[in-house]
Chain A
Amino acid sequence: MTQTLQLKINGSDLRLDLDDPRATLLDVLRERLGLTGTKKGCDRGQCGACTVLIDGRRVNACLALALSHDGAQITTIEGLARGEDLHPVQAAFIADDGFQCGFCTPGQIMSAVALIAEAEAGLDPERIREGMSGNLCRCAAYAGITEAVLDATRALALEEERAA
């Protein structure tokens, strides 16, 4: 039975016909829409490589049955940059060497964007590490990741101050 799924992905409204309800949001992003920035690491919730924002909150797309998210707004790594300019979290990951192979990086960055928005960790490295604990990095770039989150938190706060 074909079912219709409506999503707003990175600002664009999409209508998709799904002929198989087994598809996860991760399958839809990667295989139907070609948005391969979101990675499939473990496909069972344990690595965080598939982290996206659903209605502004970070969620593991591999655990999200696509049909159950009909009507949702999704932001993926492809939707972060502002035109030619990188998002401050993306820029900070480059400046602080927050990666080596880069496979976990889209998930790390989406998780970091959400962590900063949650405003629970502030500039406390221990709380940042805890807040990022669902995102594994096989290259162990953790030190750079924590630095990047710290720098991006400062950069975003500055941006907000200037805008006010």
Chain B
Amino acid sequence: MKPPPFDYQLADSVSQALDLYARSEGDALWLAGGHSIVPSLALRLQAPSLLIDISRLPELMGITLTEEGLRIGALATHAQILSDPLVRTHAPLLSEAAAHVAHPAIRNRATFGGNLVLADPASEFPAVVRCLDAVFDIVGPEGARQVGVEDFFLDLFTTALEPGEILRSVLIPPAPASLRCGFDELARRHGDFAMVGAAVWLVVAEGVTTEARICFHSVGPTPMRATLVEEALRGRPLAADEINAAQAVLGNDLDPADDVTLPGATRLHLARVLLGRILHRLAGQTAMETAA
């Protein structure tokens, strides 16, 4: 067996999980789907003395529509995000992106919450929830707290979650009327981590973009908002000239570093291509039906 030795405990409730964590004196990790933790332990990148299994906590389950928006339990699997009818209707960007996250067998077990907490910069969901202005419902020894997405993703694999805190659920605020949104990515092989991906969220009234949120992944340490592109689109018609202008300013928003897989300039070029592709698609589309 390759991982360093650890103990295992299944938690039946959030309070029991927090209790187990307190008794471990900070030397424990939560186990959800295990699809990142199991290989990372085998590679000895981490060495906790205890794994606390939170994969059966009822408080972390379920996808429900509330007055405040769509509440998605941290334990929702990628496969559920892909197929759940509520997600399809109220957060179609998420179901669209889920089709690009890993392969079907992995999607059956890996969890939405685990993916967001891991905060892999190449991950799709963090970029999408930033576009959707999600709110994170977190519980810890001091009680519950809510953190907005703008304060959640702090750095490479780093979030606002403190050690010993659990992500319970994520709230997606209701979609506005006249919303047009789209997700796409470029990967070497379907299901692989993307070279670059983008989520685009626009409110377009009578052909004019009134609100824009655009977020990329795989181009920086966290999901990256392209605020200058958003500004270039806002208040203007969603048409070819404006799309060209938006693509032109993307280089002021993003500055991907060179790495072993791609030069930064190539990544930026691909991001620009992808942005154009999605915007042209949305320009040709009429507003989606919002059930809000």
> B7 and A44: CB pair below 8 A?
no
B291 to chain A, nearest CB (A): 24
Contacts of A62 in B (CB 8 A): 38
> A134 and B51: CB pair below 8 A?
no
Q: Is the interface of A mostly helix, strand, loop or mixed?
A: mixed
> B10 and A70: CB pair below 8 A?
yes
- Say if the beta carbon of B42 comes within 8 Å of chain A: yes
A115 to B104, CA, bound (A): 9
> B42 and A21: CB pair below 8 A?
no
Contacts of B189 in A (CB 8 A): 133
Contacts of A27 in B (CB 8 A): 1
Q: How many of chain A's residues touch chain B, expressed as a range?
A: 20 to 34
> A48 and B103: CB pair below 8 A?
yes
Given the interface pairs A44-B39, A63-B39, A130-B190, the reply to whether A68 lies near B104 with Cβ below 8 Å is: no
**Per-residue 0/1 for B101-123: is the Cβ within 8 Å of any A Cβ (1 yes, 0 no)?**
01111101100000000000000
Name the one of B5, B31, B191 contacting A65, with C-beta atoms under 8 angstroms: B31
A63 to B40, CA, bound (A): 10
Most interface-central of B5, B39, B104, B190 (chain A CB within 10 A):
B104
Interface residues of B in 1-33 (CB under 8 A from A): 1-3, 5-8, 10, 31
Q: Which B residue sits closest to A23, measured CB to CB?
A: B1
Contacts of B7 in A (CB 8 A): 1, 21
- Say if the beta carbon of B55 comes within 8 Å of chain A: yes
> B6 and A118: CB pair below 8 A?
no
> B6 and A22: CB pair below 8 A?
yes
B147 to chain A, nearest CB (A): 27
**Per-residue 0/1 for A1-41: is the Cβ within 8 Å of any B Cβ (1 yes, 0 no)?**
10100000000000000001111100100000000000000
Choose the segment among A51-59, A76-84, A141-149, A151-159 that binds chain B (4+ C-beta atoms closer than 8 Å). Answer: A51-59
Cβ-closest 7 pairs across A and B: A134-B103, A21-B8, A44-B39, A58-B105, A57-B108, A22-B1, A133-B191
Cross-chain pairs A/B with CB under 8 angstroms, 10 sampled: A22-B1, A22-B5, A44-B39, A45-B106, A58-B108, A60-B106, A65-B51, A65-B53, A68-B8, A133-B190
